[in-house]
Amino acid sequence: MSSEVLVEHDDGLVIVTINRPDQRNAVNRAVSYGVCEALDEMDRNPNLRAGILTGAGGNFCSGMDLKAFLRGEVTRVEGRGILGIARTPPKKPLIAAVEGYCLAGGFESMLCCDLVVAARNAQFGLPEAKRGLAAAAGGLMRLPRLIPQRIAMEMVLTGDMMSAERLYPYGLFNAMVEPGQALEEAKRLARRIIANAPLSVAASKRVIIEQRDWPIDQMFNLQEPITGAILTSQDAREGAAAFAERRAPVWKGQ
């Protein structure tokens, strides 16, 4: 693992930190592959239940490293996009903890996350049009699904930054906190998820993501293969028993 990506495992939680503070955590090849490797390990390892993506030095990520781009360096994971999550987000829950600048590919990476905690002074933007580029790592497609289209259009066509204060009322974040507190709040949110049954969490996330394209007359039939086995799982019985016995459940993921 490159020193430009720091990975910490903490009792079921993996915290992935982009560690290029002198470059505002701009993404080069090592960062993309390092983050991708850490999140792939999260999905493979049954002991890891949720992840947090954040940045070092007071910024989340300023996007693609333009100097690396000019050198001809490929700053995305082949076939998977920036950080390996643009086209293939992880199966387990991923939370973005955002401080400072969250721009371009960094903003697009945040949009790939399931939940977001943002510092009050964070700044967001898709400035690609100012550089003769396009937000092709998912920003043009994901952002209008998450906030009103006219606001998304303004961000994309002007390339100007918007503050967390302006974007919070549109529901782009789960929580807005004081500067320096995004990671701690993201950890608290992750712990609330980790307390739940892993099969239930994984299936629920999958349905929420996939149902956007389901025809109404087919949605229950399409949901059944994903959620059907949960009712007969060991964890379902454990959850009911723990409730009846007034104790915390012990999940097996089975």
Positions marked catalytic: 108, 128
**Distance separating alpha carbons of residues 80 and 85, to the nearest angstrom:** 6
Residue 29's Cβ-side half-sphere holds a number of Cα atoms within 13 Å equal to: 8
Residues 6+ apart with CB under 8 A from 156: 126, 128, 129, 135, 139, 140, 143
Closest residue by Cα to residue 118 from 61, 46, 183: 183
134 within 8 A of 88, measured Cβ to Cβ: no
Sheet holding 13-18, edge to edge: 5-10, 13-18, 50-55, 94-98, 115-119, 175-177
**Distance separating alpha carbons of residues 89 and 7, to the nearest angstrom:** 17
Residues 6+ apart with CB under 8 A from 164: 98, 118, 119, 120, 121, 122, 123, 124, 173, 176
Cβ atoms < 10 Å from Cβ of 225: 9
